Amino acid sequence: MVSGRGRLQVGEQAHELEPDMGAYVVSGEEYELENPGPEELVVVVVEAPLENVTAIDPSRRTVRYADQPVLEAGADREFRYLVNQDLGCPDVTQFVGVIPPGRAPTHSHSYDEIVYVIDGEGILHLGGQERVIGRGSAMHLPPLAEHCLENTGKGSMRVLGVFHPSGDPASRAYESE
């Protein structure tokens, strides 16, 4: 959830939604999103193939960012998991990352990554090219693609990241010095 408040209905279960919240719906499940208003409801939906079937506890379908522990993703970057195997999702990892002003080393991961900019501005360095990014920008980073998100703003950049298959934002297949 990026902004607004709403409700996620999966089967007979209703789950209240608020900003900075992750939700997990198993591939093939029918669901409805409701926006009671008056503000706009902005939700980022990422779909991934279901490879490992596990039972989900319907009472744990949503996770609040504020309730998750802070983890390190490099010297000055941090993240918090929203959806991963702890929630019953072995195929995808969803997290919110905080990037301070500056540029981290170029690196790559062994998994597919989708990144959505929640807040902030910067530059995506990917494949020798640069692209200006800001709130609402979304990008796909294929496995082993060397990349870097540079925060060019004065405050922190916040991003929503999704990995498939499941992974760790701090892991690197490659990192420059």
| Digit-coded pLDDT (tens) for 17-47 | 999 999 988 878 899 999 998 999 999 988 8
* CA dihedral sign of residues 48, 88, 112, 72: positive
Task: For residue 69, give Cα distances in angstroms to 9, 34, 56, 115, 130.
Answer: 27, 29, 21, 20, 32
Closest CA to 143 of 113, 114, 171: 113
Report the predicted TM-score, pTM, of the whole model to 2 decimal places.
0.88
Residue corresponding to tokens 């997290």: 95
Residue corresponding to tokens 């992974």: 167
Average pLDDT, the chain: 89
User: Which class would CATH give 65-175?
Assistant: mainly beta
Closest CA to 65 of 50, 49, 78: 78
Please state the domain extents for the chain: 6-50, 65-175
CA dist 136 and 83 (Å) reads: 20
